[in-house]
Structure 1
Amino acid sequence: MIEPRLSTDEPMRLHRLRCLSQLDTPLEERFERITRLAQRLLDAPIAAISLVDADRQWFKSIQGFAAEETSRRISFCGHAILHDDVLVVEDARRDARFAGNPLVTGPPNVVFYAGCPIRSVDGSTLGSLCVIDRKPRKLSREDLQALQDLAKIAELEFSTAMDRGAQEELIKQVDALARIAHVDSLTRVWNRESIFRVLEKEIAAAKQAGRSACVIMADLDRFKPINDTHGHVVGDEVLRQAAKRMLGAIREVDALGRYGGEEFMIVPGNCEGLESAREVAERVRERIGGAAFHTESRDIEVTVSLGVAYCDDPGTMTVDALVKGADDALYRAKDNGRNRVETAIVSGEGAAKAA
């Protein structure tokens, strides 16, 4: 195995990377979409967007393997960023740079690798979009073009400032090291403390703008039997997949956090009304229950119940009132048969009424 060398512009490259404010941030659907497409178009079991930091590669998005980062010294993407074009490794076991690499001899058991550099607007290499297979293969001209096209889309996404509302404000307020403490380590969405901070900021913005605020509570149905029957490893995989499906159902301006266990909280950004929030919740319900979850054990059918709380009265618009209203609506959804959405309007002194 040969460790990747540093790039000739390493200080500037790292400066550009940190200016992105992307390291250790929660998952985003706009990047999840790219890795899903790469996985599907190139028929690869694993696809990832990797950002190469000083001593690690960190995955902004990864499909097919549960990892958040690896050491830079064993990374394939550490080699890919040194190339002007796509780095193709047809059989890593026979390549002196990678033979004996822990990522080859152990999980994810990389054999084939293709990585296209992702660059900033000034040309600095940030990382790569890569696909991985566990068997030797070649990359066709069509596949090569597809990977390059998707890498260009990733570059555009990194260069585009997204309006993510209150959660964008939170990202800007904390540095890269602090961000780690704000993200749930299993699902890579906001953790409980941080999603509450996002809700607080959203309520403050709503009061200032004179508009409504909403919150959605989502709880996976009958999750305990999944853990009891298939084990916690499978249960964890279901939670990871559920978070990704929820991300795919909400808007970029909406924030998703893990409330605890199998329960999640969604804070709709710039809430336009109760029906708008209910539509978000219905999309989440349909995305979760629309297809079985693929796990190592077996395919598992999963559904979700959701409670939506809405408030347009600045006097009663508080975190506690909205969360309680959404919780009450969630319990009604459970009592009324599960796999459904119930709503509540928070009014006078924070009381919540079914809507």
Structure 2
Amino acid sequence: MLERPFANTETLRLADLHSLAIFYTPLDARFDRLTRLAQKALGVQVAAIALAHQGKLWFKSVQGWNIHELELSASFCARTLARGELTIVEDTRLDAEFARHQLVQGAPHFRFYAGFPIRDRGGIVVGTMAAYDLSPRQVSPADVQALRDLGDLAQREFLTAELCDAQAQIIGKLDLARRSAMIDALTRVWNRRAAEDLLALAVEQAEREDSGLAVCMLDVDRFKEINDTAGHQVGDQVLRRVAATLVSNVRDGDSVCRYGGDEFLVILQRISREEVERITDRIRQRMAEFPLRTKSGQVMVGISAGTAWRAPGRHMSGESLIELADQALYRAKQASRSGSRSGITAS
């Protein structure tokens, strides 16, 4: 077992995570951008931003490792959290504590770790920016500076992160257990239950502000065929890929939800019809740019989308918006079964 944080620090950390309202929240493009940058800049297998809470390490963003949560005592980051300073282990098998660690002796067999502490406004360590690799590494001064810079950026994002009004209301009124129950376990975006609550709040806000509101329904083309031919593990990879692409290509504050099966719903508040078209076109293009690489080979992932836009001044329920978006999605799929298409209904 690695070093544990002091109890008084853990109490302060817990209070601060509640105040930041960032624990058990969905995927966020701001943090995903930072972990992608860290993975590329450092040339490592895995890059992650993680938060500590009640003996758990929860991953806000992670690249290269399909994991959501770990026991804190079973994590490398426990040392960084306990010491509150940059931690570098160039070869885990040469470190007395890490050599016995389950992540070294068992899968994924990590041989390198570097972690930078993320602090709150009061200086309490609440998480880490971390890099892992499957081979030992020698760290250069440039690598150290890159990790420090990215850790500072992650810390700044946590301190300044803002959610849209609907998401802020949902998160603010729920305890951690209920908040966790509204996140889809596979894709780490909002689930259907959350989508219904978020849309109801978004409709109220749009009517109160007399602003535009859009609902976009998307599903994966040929998803049953992918599952049948490549297997359910590849199907799960496809769904995670779609969710991450949606989060990365909508605006900060837009709500991305897994609505069921291979179907996703995106709620876009304070938006014009022209901007809706730009966003849906960008999502479609991004999905077409990069095939998904799996153990079975490359999988081309296409999506179809249908969008309903509620103009300022119009009154329409969330259920009506979903129905119109679903109809637009059906028309888009009928228009082309071989590629991604999108359609928009304005009301």
TM-score normalised by length of structure 2:
0.95
Conserved? CA contact 1:165–1:270, under 8 Å: no
For 2:156, give the aligned amino acid. L
Match of 1:291 in 2: 290
Supply the distance in 1 between the matched residues of 2:31 and 2:216 (Cα, whole angstroms).
Answer: 23
Match of 1:189 in 2: 189
- Can you give the 5+ residue segments of structure 1 that lack an aligned partner in the other structure? 347-355
Per-residue displacement from partner, 1:131-166 (whole Å, max 9, x unpaired)?
Answer: 100111111110110000000000100110414231
Counterparts of 1:39-118 in structure 2, within 5 Å, are 39-118=39-118
Match of 2:217 in 1: 217
| CA positional deviation for 1:111 | 1.1
Conserved? CA contact 1:213–1:317, under 8 Å: no
1:332 equivalent to 2:328? Answer no
1:322 equivalent to 2:321? Answer yes
User: Secondary structure of 1:99's match?
Assistant: helix
Match of 1:167 in 2: 167
Match of 1:4 in 2: 3
Match of 2:130 in 1: 130
User: Secondary structure of 2:146's match?
Assistant: helix
Match of 2:240 in 1: 240
| CA positional deviation for 1:197 | 1.0
User: Secondary structure of 2:257's match?
Assistant: strand
User: Secondary structure of 1:127's match?
Assistant: strand
Match of 2:203 in 1: 203
Conserved? CA contact 1:111–1:135, under 8 Å: yes
User: Secondary structure of 2:82's match?
Assistant: coil
- Can you give the 5+ residue segments of structure 2 that lack an aligned partner in the other structure? none
Q: Which deviates the most, 91-100 or 327-336?
A: 91-100
Supply the distance in 2 between the matched residues of 1:314 and 1:261 (Cα, whole angstroms).
Answer: 34
Conserved? CA contact 2:2–2:76, under 8 Å: no
Match of 2:345 in 1: 344
For 2:318, give the aligned amino acid. V
Supply the distance in 2 between the matched residues of 1:21 and 1:9 (Cα, whole angstroms).
Answer: 18
| CA positional deviation for 1:330 | 0.6
Supply the distance in 1 between the matched residues of 2:319 and 2:10 (Cα, whole angstroms).
Answer: 47
Supply the distance in 2 between the matched residues of 1:52 and 1:192 (Cα, whole angstroms).
Answer: 27
Match of 1:349 in 2: none
User: Secondary structure of 1:268's match?
Assistant: strand
Conserved? CA contact 1:285–1:339, under 8 Å: yes
User: Secondary structure of 2:162's match?
Assistant: coil
Per-residue displacement from partner, 1:326-345 (whole Å, max 9, x unpaired)?
Answer: 01111111111141111112
Conserved? CA contact 2:118–2:126, under 8 Å: yes
Conserved? CA contact 2:215–2:308, under 8 Å: yes
Supply the distance in 2 between the matched residues of 1:176 and 1:53 (Cα, whole angstroms).
Answer: 10
- What do you get for the CA RMSD once the two structures are aligned? 1.5
| CA positional deviation for 1:107 | 2.6
Q: Report the number of matched residues.
A: 344
| CA positional deviation for 1:18 | 2.5
Conserved? CA contact 2:291–2:301, under 8 Å: yes
Conserved? CA contact 1:21–1:176, under 8 Å: no
Conserved? CA contact 1:303–1:339, under 8 Å: yes
For 1:309, give the aligned amino acid. A
Match of 1:229 in 2: 229
Conserved? CA contact 1:166–1:269, under 8 Å: no
Query: Which runs of structure 1 show a deviation greater than 6 angstroms over 4 or more consecutive aligned residues?
Result: none
Supply the distance in 1 between the matched residues of 2:218 and 2:303 (Cα, whole angstroms).
Answer: 7
Per-residue displacement from partner, 1:285-327 (whole Å, max 9, x unpaired)?
Answer: 1111111112233221111111010123766411111001101
Using the aligned pairs only, state the percent identity: 39
